[in-house]
Amino acid sequence: MNRNLIRWFRWLILIPATIGLTVLYAIYVNPVLTQGFGKNIEHALNPFISFALVVLIAYLIAPSYKFKTSLIFGCLSLLLPFVGIIIVLTGIKIGGEEQYVLDGGIAIFTTIAGLAVGLLITWKLNIRSYRFKEPKNTACIVCSHVINRERSILYASHQAEDGFWQFLCGKDDHTEESFKLISLEEATVIGPSINDVHRLPLGSSIARAGETDEWRI
């Protein structure tokens, strides 16, 4: 399947998959994990894990801008406990029944704690996914085959004159219009395995036979 199609498919399923998997956990898995504990423990633990899962699942599914995506999901999720507080304070009835705080409000704090833990994990994962010492906005040259995800990155070079990086497909069927300028961070999103060459010295180049093969100078 074309990589571009897979990328768009992942954006398409991002919201339903994230919400769906989190709801499945809350309904079916959490009651099993908290079996034998009191209702207050179950009610407090459920939002902690559920809201941590929201940002983690969003991070894993998003094909790019992973941490930003998980942060957006985390911020949007914060609306839910505040809506719950408003419902309780204003006495709004749901299904004809007035809503109450079941556990002294501890679920509100565990919700925030779950989001904080989830975001901390995704932040750590995001840092590890970028191993270059250069700033993320460092200029980087790629070919159209790479940026369109038609071919893998099989050639890399670190230019001595300006410190630019080059990541190409390794073929010789390029024209002047084939080369595009993007940030180094964007290049690591397109091909995460290029992080393996982050220590390539200035003026050096390196290549590999396939995406899963070792880089060789």
Neighbours of 112 (CB within 10 A): 17
Domain termination residue (choose one: 128, 154, 178): 128
Domain termination residue (choose one: 128, 154, 176): 128
Domain termination residue (choose one: 128, 152, 178): 128
What predicted TM-score, i.e. pTM, was given to this entire model? 0.62
More confident residue, 71 or 86: 71
Residue 215 lies in a domain: no
State pLDDT tens for residues 74-107: 999 888 877 776 766 777 766 666 656 665 568 7
**What is the domain count for the chain?**
2
Instruction: Supply the range of the domain harboring residue 13.
Output: 3-128
Is residue 37 domain-shared with residue 105, that is, in the same domain?
yes
Is residue 9 domain-shared with residue 84, that is, in the same domain?
yes
Is residue 38 domain-shared with residue 99, that is, in the same domain?
yes
Q: Predicted confidence band at 72 (pLDDT cuts at 50, 70, 90)? A: very high
Distance separating alpha carbons of residues 148 and 177, to the nearest angstrom: 14
Question: Looking at this protein, which amino acid is placed at residue 132?
Answer: F
| Cα–Cα distances in angstroms (integers) from residue 141 to residues 32, 33, 48, 172, in the given order | 51, 50, 43, 15
Neighbours of 27 (CB within 10 A): 10
Distance separating alpha carbons of residues 90 and 130, to the nearest angstrom: 47
Is residue 19 domain-shared with residue 49, that is, in the same domain?
yes
Is residue 80 domain-shared with residue 13, that is, in the same domain?
yes
Is residue 20 domain-shared with residue 97, that is, in the same domain?
yes
Q: Is the pLDDT confidence value at 71 over 90?
A: yes
State pLDDT tens for residues 156-202: 999 888 888 999 998 988 888 899 999 998 898 888 889 889 989 99
State pLDDT tens for residues 114-150: 999 999 999 888 777 788 988 888 989 999 999 988 8
Is residue 119 domain-shared with residue 46, that is, in the same domain?
yes
Q: Quick one: tokens of 43? A: 């009610």
Q: Quick one: tokens of 34? A: 């908290």
State pLDDT tens for residues 19-70: 999 999 988 998 888 887 777 788 788 889 999 999 999 999 987 778 889 9
Distance separating alpha carbons of residues 85 and 147, to the nearest angstrom: 46
Is residue 59 domain-shared with residue 157, that is, in the same domain?
no
Q: Is the pLDDT confidence value at 1 over 60?
A: no
